[in-house]
Amino acid sequence: MKGNYIYYFIICPRKLWFYHHKITMEHESDLVLIGKYIELFYKEKYKYQKKLIIEDISPDIMKRYRDFVLIYEIKKSSSFKEASLWQLKYYLYYLNRKGLNVKGKLIIPEESKEEYIELSKEDEKKIEEMVKNIKEILKSDKPPKVIKKQYCKYCSYRMICWSDEI
């Protein structure tokens, strides 16, 4: 499962369903474009040349140190910090299962914040529950019902999400 599925699940299960079913709207979002530029800046800063994809996950930056691998997740702001934390924790969970000794770091440049993230046994249980719920959403023929949230007006999916045709 892709790491951004965890992120979308926390933000909006409906957005997750659309994304999984190849209904993507991010290409029209200025906020997503800004986020991509920020990610490129940090890749240059950390001298990171290529995007590493391990099966379905693709962390923003992975740096190998002597005893461990540090996974960086870069987000423009802390607007969706909880979702960002769980996305990063999912990467840690997944890579731990693959036998890597990994640590995480969440970077929020807009607020000059950097936070080291660890994975607990409780986190692992919560991730397993989220994965189970995500799989249920993805196999459905229709997206989950609309739940109006504060950030809907900024969402790149708002036009299709609120149409009467779905």
Mean pLDDT by 10-residue block, N- to C-terminus, for the chain (166 residues)?
A: 91 92 66 58 58 71 88 88 96 93 92 94 98 97 89 81 64
**pLDDT single digits (tens) 32-59:** 555 565 666 666 666 654 455 577 788 8
**Residue 123, exposed/middle/buried by CB under 10 A (0-12, 13-18, 19+)?**
middle
Give me the domains of the chain, ranges plus CATH numbers. 3-161 (3.90.320.10)
Strands 102-108 and 113-117: antiparallel
